[in-house]
Chains A and B, each alone.
Chain A
């Protein structure tokens, strides 16, 4: 016992040399406590400040401004429904593309590619998440919008017979372009989480399926994916949360018209983009308060979606800590 203790102490003296002096424990606890208090205060201040700034709008219009469709600040008419629909529509377009392609990529990364390629390509897809939103907006506005105007929208219009979702002038910017760029931005999150979730399926399930004579696709589709479906749902939810809150790229390419979109090619606005657009100029009565009320709505929705997503993903357990910028 004494030898062990002496050995430990002796090692301690060399392992923890003097340039790591001890901090008095009381001070430490005070500092940590203060940090936690500051953090909590920040969060509370954020909610309080937003609600306080938005209060005139809620008091005057009630929660009904969420259903109104007319947005006319000059006539003090504020209907936020077009923006809610815009947010939903862009997210739907993005997810319709992101779910199959993201799932396919995640499956390939987790099970089909050789180990070396897997980590390189996986990192490459995750680096997509590191690209700043404004750069996506710039690229979308100046590079993809002309493609949308000349190739993509005529093709989509042709498919829909130039009516319904495919009607209207094809000018490039608008709902469809926003959905496409949002898809690119949401893809890395979808792929990163799906890949972890799929890789976490126990090997014995996979091996059992192969032993029973299933082809590779059959094991993936009928064993791995169903086993991981909670986590996959979490990945989808988290991606949806990211799509809801995306501001700058969407603001640059969606045209910012405060009206409902009647076709894929219309310009419209999302909750985040209309706030970014009109915030500095909101000088009519209640205009600023309504914009902040929309921000509160956006915050509430984002929080709910994000919490749901984390609960779903946590239920599966993750093999990696948050060293991925796609998830952070």
Chain B
């Protein structure tokens, strides 16, 4: 290699130099190859803006698909970390992400903790929660009522062939198998909607546990995120768990038909969840629950009430009203306007319920409140018109 170190006793040094040289070259070559591959296949196409967001796992399938298509249209990259609604709120409050996503809106106490100023909350999608179960040989559509479900999650019903379940399902031969209750281990808006439902249908649950993003579950195994719960249910015979509908469908889970206040057995589908949403057209961040116990009494309400699925939830995007950077602010507003209008078609592809028109209007009103560093609203009429067409 060089004129020095040619004497025989230098062979160690020569070998060492050769080895080090070769390895260094190999590493450099590998890096360059991967860099070239990527750049040539336009993977690292320069992005005009990068946004970060974090939150609900409920939204994750919809968001990833939507952001992927959005990037192809506008070159804005959105990084979404699916860490649970609680996590999304936490990161948003610390101003570490540009916007958060949560299945339950922030309450006044949480908003007070936010370090970036006033918070506005935009409804972004909604979906039904499927009560999935893993029973070999049992068809989908097992009948379930709220009170019985509450008893299962309280640990009072522990076996699938319990008389209460048999009564609801006279035509099904339920096996003698212990019920493995699965719930969320992380802070979750999906949990909030579920426990909110249980609180309304079961006084015992309301007294003992209550509702919240995290609760003290009397029994059960924890899964991380909707995907974690889905994973445990998929792997454990005899398990029962609540997941967002898309997770249940993609994994071909069997899920329950719930008894709704009008006395009908309904499955979570786009139609039934949309009916539930239509029964509550006036949602806002302060009044967001769409669970109720009484059957509606108007005629139109009764029609909807027959098919309404009781366990559903909206999902909200948390964003600061006053954006300090004009480019980031404009990008956020553009993204949100797209997502609540043109982007809703991707929601439908994944079995989320597209926002009803009334709620889209609420969303737009909220987005209009976001202003830039100069104090002027960032949603210009031109921008609003660009995305005015709905899914």
Contacts and interface: CB of A to CB of B under 8 A. Distances in A.
B186 A277 contact: yes
A280 B87 contact: yes
A169 B238 contact: yes
B235 A145 contact: yes
Name the 5 nearest CB pairs between A and B, nearest first.
A281-B87, A283-B90, A281-B86, A280-B87, A281-B187
Nearest to A254: B222
B257 interface: no
Interface stretch (B21-29, B211-219, B353-361): B211-219
B93 interface: yes
Interface in A63-108: 70-75
B329 interface: no
Given A171-B239, A283-B187, 15 more contacts: A70-B216, A72-B215, A73-B214, A74-B214, A74-B216, A171-B232, A172-B235, A172-B236, A173-B235, A267-B221, A278-B187, A280-B54, A280-B81, A282-B90, A283-B89
B235 A280 contact: no
Nearest to B187: A281
Nearest to A251: B224
Contacts of B90: 280-283, 288
Interface string B329-367: 000000000000000000000000000000000000000
B180 interface: yes
B91 interface: yes
B86 A283 contact: yes
B203 interface: no
A255 interface: yes
Interface of A: 14, 17, 70-75, 145-146, 149, 169, 171-173, 255-257, 267, 277-278, 280-284, 288
Contacts of A280: 54, 81, 83-84, 87, 90-91
B308 interface: no
Contact of A169 (B54, B86, B178): B178
B290 interface: no
A277 B91 CA distance: 15
Nearest to B110: A283
Given A72-B216, A74-B216, A257-B185, A281 B83 contact: yes
B40 interface: no
B185 A256 contact: yes
B93 A283 contact: yes
Contacts of B87: 280-281, 283
Nearest to A75: B216
Classify chain B's interface size.
20 to 34
B234 to A, nearest CB: 11
A146 B110 CA distance: 41
Contacts of B220: 257
B298 interface: no
B4 A17 contact: yes
Contacts of B236: 149, 169, 171-172
B91 A267 contact: no
Contacts of A284: 214
A146 B224 contact: no
Contacts of A283: 86-87, 89-90, 93, 110, 113, 187
A288 B93 CA distance: 13
B54 to A, nearest CB: 8
B299 to A, nearest CB: 41
A140 B391 CA distance: 43
A14 B216 CA distance: 76
Contacts of A288: 90
Contacts of A75: 216
Nearest to B89: A283
25 contacts: A70-B216, A73-B214, A74-B210, A74-B212, A74-B213, A149-B235, A169-B236, A171-B221, A171-B232, A171-B235, A172-B235, A172-B236, A255-B185, A256-B185, A256-B224, A277-B186, A278-B187, A280-B87, A281-B87, A281-B90, A282-B90, A283-B86, A283-B87, A283-B89, A284-B214
Interface string B228-255: 0000100110110000000000000000
Interface string B261-277: 00000000000000000
Contacts of B81: 280
A267 B220 CA distance: 9
Given A281-B84, A281-B86, A74 B215 contact: yes
Interface centre among B84, B221, B238, by most chain A C-beta atoms within 10 angstroms, is: B221
A144 to B, nearest CB: 12
A17 B239 CA distance: 73
A256 B224 CA distance: 8
B37 to A, nearest CB: 24
Contacts of A278: 186-187
A146 B231 CA distance: 12
B4 A255 contact: no
Interface centre among A14, A149, A281, A284, by most chain B C-beta atoms within 10 angstroms, is: A281
Nearest to B177: A169
Contacts of A17: 4
Contacts of A172: 235-236
A277 B185 contact: yes
B216 A146 contact: no
A255 B221 contact: yes
A267 B228 CA distance: 14
Contacts of B235: 145-146, 149, 171-173
B222 A255 contact: yes
A72 B208 CA distance: 13
Interface centre among B83, B222, B239, by most chain A C-beta atoms within 10 angstroms, is: B222
Given A280-B90, A283-B93, A257 B221 contact: yes
B323 to A, nearest CB: 22
A267 B235 CA distance: 14
Nearest to A73: B214
A286 to B, nearest CB: 13
Nearest to A288: B90
Contacts of A14: 4
Contacts of A73: 187, 214
Interface string B175-218: 00010100001110000000000000000000000101111100
A224 B60 CA distance: 59
Contacts of A267: 221-222
A149 B234 CA distance: 13
B237 to A, nearest CB: 9
